[in-house]
Structure 1
Amino acid sequence: MAHLEVFQAVAHANDGNRASGTPGYRGSVDYVLGRLRAAGYAPRVQNFSFPFFRELSPATVSAGGRPLPAEDVAVMSYSGSGTVSAPVQAVGTTGEPGASTSGCEAEDFADFQAGNVALLQRGTCAFGVKAANAQAAGASAVLIFNTGGPGEEGVVAGTLGGPGAVNIPVVGLSYAAGRALLAEGEVTVTVQVISEQRETSNVLVETGTGNPERTVMVGAHLDSVPEGAGINDNGSGSAAILAIAESLAGTETENRLRFAWWGAEEFGLLGSQHYVDDLKANAPATLAAIALYLNFDMIGSPNYGRFVYDGDGSAFGPEVSAEAPEGSGVIEAAFHAHFGSVGLASGETEFSGRSDYGPFIAEGVPAGGLFTGAEGLKTAEQAALFGGRAGVGYDFCYHAQCDDIANIDVQGLGEMTDAAAAVIRRFATSTGDVEAVGRQLRTVMAPAVPATVDQGHGPSNAAQEKSER
C-alpha cells in the first residue's frame, strides 16, 4: 500500500495518470528504480518507441445543427485532429445491413468530391485502409459506421494501426447513426487527439543467485491508461511484485528470479512484446532459459474474486483460451494449492493471452498468474465464495478516472500478494519436471472452486486493440 500511495501521488502531480510516454510513467519508473537500488539490486532500463495515442476531448459529429448522441460516436485510434464542416458523401454503401467493401479500393472513390466528408461502412478490409483511401481521394474527414449485422449495431471503436496512417479526423459511428447520415447534407466533425511516436521503457532486475538456465520471470505492467491513475490497473500488480522483490533481496535461490515492470501494456502489450522480440533476435539462449513466466495484472479489485489463469484448459474451451504451453497447468495448480492451504476459495479466469504473458506463451514459455476481475459482473455464486456484491462489476472504475487509491480492496490485495509470493518462492526453489511437479501438487491441493470469469479488458480503444491482436 505504501508503494500504491506513491503511484497515486505521482499521478496526482502529472495530469492524473501514469500512462506510458508521459511524465507520470517516467515518475513511476524512477520510483521503482529507486526502491530496487535501495534494496541492493542493479536494475536496468530497456527503452523502446511506441505509437502513443490520447483523446484530448470526446469526438463529436453534428448534422443539421444537432450533435449525434455521444454513445453513437467514437474516435478511431491514431486519427488525425481537426474540425471539419462539409457535405457528407456516402462511398460504396446504401446502408443495407452486412459487411461492406465500402472504401476498400481506390476505385470506390471515382466519383468522390474532394473536400467532402466520406461516409463508409465497416467490413472486408481494415479501418486504416478505408481511411487512407478516403484521404488519398481528398476527403476532409472520414466516418465509418457499423455493419448492422447481429451484434454489430453499436458504435465502432477501432484503430487505424498507428500514427501517421492518416492526418484527417476519422470517427466510428453506430449503424443507426451512419444510416441517418445518408439523408443528411452537411456535417461537422470535431476531433482533438495526440497521435505520435513516443519513447517509454521496461524495468528489469534479477537476483544475483540461482541457476540462470532455469530463470523464473515475474512481471506486471507499470503503465496506466491515460484516463486515470491506474492504481488497480496495474499499480496493484506492480506494487505487489516490487514488495516481493524487496523481501527477497539478498536471498539465495536455486533458480534465477527476474522481475519485470512492463511499459505500454495499455497500448497493446508492447513492452513485453518488445522484450520477447529482442531476446528472440539477439539472445535466443536467454529466452530458452526462461522456465516459466508469472503475470500479475489487476490484483486489488474492489469487488474482487480470487482468480487463477486457467493453464490446464479445464474451465474454458479453445474458443476462449489461447493454447497453453506444457507446464502452464502446473503453475495453475500451484496457485490453487496455496489458496487451499490457507483456507481460501479460488476460481479460474480465461487463459486468453490478453495480458503480458501473451508474448511469452507465443514462444512456448509456460505461464500463469492471478487476476481479481475487471469490468465483468460478479455472479451470485462468486459472491457466496469470495464475498462482495453480486451483479456488480469486479472493478467498476476499470479504465476510468476513479481508479485511484480508494479503488483498492486492501484485504484482497493482501491475499493475492501472499499467493504471488508463495508461488514465486516455490518455483524459485524448484521448477522440477513439469509432469512430476503436476502430480505432486494435485495430491496436496484443495479442489478448485468451479467459479470462473472471463479475463476481459473493457471497451476502451486500447482494449479493442488488445482483443484484435
Structure 2
Amino acid sequence: MEAFQRIADESTDPVYPGSRAAGTEGYADSVDYVAGLLRNAGYTVTLDPVPVTFFRPSTLSQVTPTAAEHPIAIATGSGYGTFSGPVIPVDVNLSGDRVNSSGCEAGDFAGLDFGGPTDIALVQRGTCSFEIKARNAEAAGAEAVVIFNQGDTIGGGDRLGVVSPTLGAFQAEGPVVGTSFAAGEALARAGSTALIDVQEPEQRTDYNVIAELPGENVDNVVMAGAHLDSVTEGPGINDNGSGSAALLETALLMAKSKTPNTLRFGWWAAEEEGLVGSRDYVAGLSQAERDRIALYMNYDMVGSPNYYLGVYDADESTFPAPVVVPEGSEAIEDVYEAYYTKVGQPYDDSEFSGRSDYQAFIQSGIPSGGLFTGAEVRKTPEQQAVWGGTAGNQFDPCYHAACDDIANYDAGALEVNSDLIAYAMLHFGYSTEAVNGVPGKKVPGPAFTLPAPAGPEGTFAGGGGGLAHDHVHDHDHERESA
C-alpha cells in the first residue's frame, strides 16, 4: 500500500500527476513494481498488452455573466476542439414541470442567430433523443452543443445531475457535452458566454500483469485478480491498492508452493475505464483456454475505511443477480462465508452485479466470486451495530477522490480479508471439486475444518450491497433523453 502511495506521489505525469490511472506514468510504474516483485519471487510473468483510450481533461467554463466551472460528460460521438463564444438557449423550460422539446425540431432554432464563428447551442434533455438534438443544433449552425439535464424527478428518478449523452450513429463535427440542470440554468442566463474544450483522446498501450504457478494439473487453473489502476483524481489506495496489495502478498507467500492445481494471478489494466483489461484478457483466450480456468476470484476494494465485510451473493439469497451466475460460483461464496464464521467475523451479501473485473469471466461461464467492503453507499445504523464505524457516512468517503490515499483504509478489515484471500487461493489450489467436480487433495498440515456458514447479517436496507446502482465501474450511460 505504501509503495502504491509512493508511486503516485513520485509520478510526474504531464496530464494526471499524483495518480496511477490508465495510460499514465503512475500506472506504468505500478506495473513495473508488481512485475518486479513477482519475478524476484520466481514467477514467470507475462505483461499482456491492453489498448486503452486516454482522455485528457475536458472543461465547460462559463465566462459571463458570472465565471464558473461546470461539470461535464463527453457525449459518445462528440467532435473535438476548443470553442469560446455566446451560449444560445434553444426552447428551454426552467420552471414548473420542466417538460420541453428543446431542440427536437428544426423549427426550435428558427429566429436564433447561429451565424457566428463559435456559437454554442444550449438544449435541454426531454422528449426526443440526444442524437436528434445534436443533429438539429449542428444543422442550424452551432459549433458546439451543451445538453443539460431536464431538472425533474419523473418516476422517482433524478434528472438533476450530469447527463451523459449518447448520440447513436451520429458523429458530430464539434463538441457535444452533457451537464447538470443547475449548470443549464446558469448558462441560460442572458449574456452568457462559455469556453468548451474537448480534446481528442489518444490510443495508448497499458499492460495486465499475469503470473502463473504451475501445479500438477495444468488443465485446472485457479485464478484471482484485482485491478491495478486508479482513477485520475488520486492514488487509489483503497480503490484498488487494497485488492492489488492483498493479492500480491498472497502471490509472494505462495511462490514456493506446490499445489495440485495451477495458480494464476492477474492485475488488470484500465478497470476504471470500463473493465478494459480483464475484458481484453478473457476475449483473447481460446475456448480451450477458458475451459481450463476452474474459477475466478475478484478483489476490488477490500479495505474500505468505514467497511462492512461483503461476499458476492452468488446464490442470490439476498440480491437477485442481473446477470447469469455460472454454476459452481455458490461453492466459492460458501468458502468465504465459512472462513468468516471460523474466525468470528460477521459478513453480509454484496450484489453479484457484474460490475467489476469478474464480469468477463461470468459472461464466459467461468464460476466466480469475490469480496467487497463498500464504496459510495452510506452505512446504516444496523450495519454500524455489526461492524462499527460511522452510520450515515459512506463506506469509503474518499471513493474516486483525491483523498483516497494511504490514510484511507481500515487496517483491520484489510488484514482479515488478506488472510481470507490467501486461504481461498490455497483451498482451491488443492481442490476445486465443489466448484467443477475435479477431484482434489486435502491441504497438508494441521486440520483446518471450516464450519457451516453462520449466515449473512441481513442488515442492508436496500439493493447494491455497498455499491450504488449507478456505480461508475460499469460505465453505464443513459441512452435516450426521455
TM-score strictly above 0.5: yes
Q: Aligned to 2:374, what secondary structure does the other structure show?
A: coil
Cα separation, 1, equivalents of 2:258 and 2:54 = 40
For 2:475, the aligned partner's letter is E
Amino acid at match of 1:303: N
Distance 1:362 1:77, change over 3 A: same
- Aligned residues of 1:347 and 1:450 also touching (Cα < 8 A): yes
Contact 1:346 1:451 in 2 (8 A): no
For 1:13-42, what per-residue CA distance to the aligned partner results, in whole angstroms no more than 9, with x for missing partners?
Answer: 111000010010000000011000001001
**Aligned equivalent of 1:212:** 218
Name which of structure 1's ranges 235-244 and 378-387 shifts more when overlaid on structure 2. 378-387
Q: 1:122-173, CA deviations, whole angstroms, 9 ceiling, x for partnerless residues?
A: 35777577547645664222110113342333132426699x9656443323
Match of 2:14 in 1: none
Counterpart of 1:85 in structure 2 is: 85
1:241-252 paired onto structure 2 within 5 Å: 241-252=247-258
Using the size of structure 2 for normalisation, the TM-score is: 0.83
Q: 1:451 aligns with which of 459, 470, 474?
A: 459
8 Å CA contact retained: 2:339, 2:450:
no
Q: How does 1:23-172 map to 2 (within 5 A)?
A: 23-55=25-57, 59-63=60-64, 65-67=65-67, 73-76=71-74, 80-90=80-90, 97=98, 102=103, 113=114, 115-122=118-125, 127=130, 131=134, 134-135=137-138, 138-150=141-153, 151-158=157-164, 168-172=174-178
Q: Give the superposition deviation at 1:86.
A: 2.3
SS of corresponding position for 1:241: helix
CA distance in 1, matches of 2:51, 2:167: 15
CA distance in 2 between partners of 1:276 and 1:301 (Å) = 28
Q: Distance in 1 between matches of 2:361 and 2:108?
A: 42
Task: Return the letter of the residue paired with 2:242.
Answer: S
CA shift digits 1:372-423 (9 cap, x unpaired): 1111111111111112111111111111111111112111110111111111
Contact in 1 for aligned 2:214/2:261 (Cα 8 Å): no
Q: Name the SS of the counterpart of 2:178 in structure 1.
A: strand
Contact 1:155-1:172 at 8 Å conserved across structures: no
**Matches of 1:454 and 1:108, distance apart in 2:** 45
For 2:399, the equivalent position in structure 1 comes to: 398
- Aligned amino acid, residue 88 of structure 2: V
Asked whether the 8 Å contact 2:20–2:234 carries over to 1, the reply is yes
CA distance in 2, matches of 1:419, 1:341: 11
Provide the C-alpha distance between the structure 1 equivalents of 2:259 and 2:433, rounded to a whole number of angstroms.
14
Contact 2:233 2:401 in 1 (8 A): yes
Equivalent residues of 2:293, 2:366 under 8 A apart: yes
C-alpha separation between the residues in 2 aligned to 1:102 and 1:198? Answer: 36
| TM-aligned CA distance change 1:406 to 1:183, over 3 Å | closer
Partner AA of 2:26 in structure 1: G
Identity %: 44
Letter of the 1:147 counterpart: Q
Contact 2:275 2:473 in 1 (8 A): no
Residues 170-319 of structure 1: matches in 2 within 5 Å? 170-178=176-184, 181=187, 184=190, 186-191=192-197, 195-279=201-285, 283-318=286-321
C-alpha change, 1:427 and 1:247, in structure 2 (3 Å) is same
Tell me if structure 1 keeps the 8 A contact 2:149–2:181: yes
CA contact (8 A) 1:155 1:173 kept: yes
CA distance in 2, matches of 1:209, 1:128: 54
Offset at residue 73 of structure 1 (A): 3.4
Q: Contact (CA 8 Å) 1:18, 1:223: kept in 2 or not?
A: yes
Check the 8 A contact 2:303/2:409 in 1, yes or no: yes
Aligned to 1:375: 376
TM-aligned CA distance change 1:364 to 1:306, over 3 Å:
same
Contact 1:374 1:458 in 2 (8 A): no
For 1:296, the aligned partner's letter is Y
Paired letter, 2:405: D
- Letter aligned with residue 23 of structure 1: E
CA distance in 2, matches of 1:445, 1:458: 27
Does the CA-based 8 Å contact 2:165-2:477 persist in structure 1?
Answer: no
User: Aligned equivalents of 2:107 and 2:281: distance in 1?
Assistant: 42
Contact 2:240 2:301 in 1 (8 A): yes
- Secondary structure (helix, strand or coil) at the match of 1:389 reads coil
The structural deviation recorded for 1:101 is 8.2
Q: Distance in 1 between matches of 2:47 and 2:163?
A: 33
What is the distance in 2 between the residues matched to 1:33 and 1:306?
A: 29
CA distance in 1: counterparts of 2:110 and 2:296, whole angstroms: 53
More helix by share: 1
String of CA shifts for 1:234-255, please: whole Å, max 9, x gaps. Answer: 0110111111011111211121
Alignment deviations for residues 171-221 of structure 1 (CA, whole Å, 9 cap, x no partner):
323335435655635421343656322211111111122423221110100
- One-letter code aligned to 1:448: P
In 2, distance between residues paired with 1:208 and 1:428? Answer: 10
Which residue in 2 is equivalent to 1:21? 23
> Structure 1 271/464 Cα, relative in aligned 2: closer, same or farther at 3 Å?
closer
Q: Which moved more, 1:165-174 or 1:267-276?
A: 165-174
Residue 225 (structure 1) shift:
0.3
Amino acid at match of 1:234: N
Q: Separation in 2 of the partners of 1:5 and 1:336?
A: 29
Please provide the CA RMSD for this pair: 3.2
Give 1 or 2 for the bigger CA radius of gyration. 2
Measured at CA, do residues 40 and 50 of structure 1 come closer, stay the same or move farther in structure 2, by a change above 3 Å? same
TM-score, scaled to structure 1: 0.85
Give the Cα–Cα distance (whole angstroms) in 1 for the partners of residues 263 and 348 of structure 2: 27
Distance 2:107 2:150 in 1: 21
Gaps of 5+ in 1: none
2 CA distance for matches of 1:137 and 1:338? 64
